[in-house]
C-alpha cells in the first residue's frame, strides 16, 4: 500500500540518519518554505519523487542513495539549494 508522503518538513530543520524512505505514492522526502534537511546513510527509493526541495529550502545528501523513484530522483526549484557531499543519485538500483 503506497502512502502519500514519507517525510515532510516545512519551515524547520531535520536530520535523517540510517533510515529507508520507500513505497510512498508521492514524495519520499519533501522540504518546503525554508526547511533545512541533511540525510546520512539513508536510502530513498520506490517513491513517486525521491526528494522534492522547494521555496528556499536546503537539502544535503551526505551519504546514502536516491534510486528507483518513478518520477524524479531529486526535484529542486523556487530558490532552493541541493548539496551532494557523498552518496549516489541513480535511476536503477545497482
Q: 1-13: per-residue pLDDT in tens?
A: 445 889 999 999 9
Give the global pTM: 0.92
- For residue 66, what are the β-bridge partners? 44, 89
pLDDT at 93: 54
Q: What are the b/e assignments for 39-61, b being 16+ CB within 10 Å? A: bbebbbbbbbbbbbbbebbbbbb
Query: Cell 537539502 maps to which residue?
Result: 59
| Integer Cα distance of 5 and 29 in angstroms | 7
Residue whose C-alpha is closest to residue 53's, from 14, 93, 2 = 14
Q: How confident is the model at residue 65 (pLDDT cuts 50, 70, 90)?
A: very high
Amino acid at each position: 500500500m503506497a502512502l502519500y508522503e514519507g517525510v515532510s518538513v516545512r519551515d524547520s530543520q531535520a536530520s535523517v540518519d540510517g533510515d529507508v524512505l520507500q513505497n510512498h505514492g508521492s514524495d519520499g522526502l519533501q522540504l518546503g518554505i525554508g526547511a533545512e534537511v541533511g540525510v546520512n546513510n539513508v536510502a530513498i527509493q520506490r517513491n513517486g519523487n525521491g526528494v522534492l526541495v522547494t521555496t528556499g529550502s536546503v537539502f544535503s545528501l551526505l551519504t546514502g542513495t536516491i534510486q528507483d523513484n518513478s518520477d524524479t530522483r531529486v526535484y529542486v526549484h523556487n530558490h532552493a539549494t541541493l548539496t551532494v557531499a557523498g552518496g549516489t543519485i541513480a535511476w536503477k538500483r545497482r
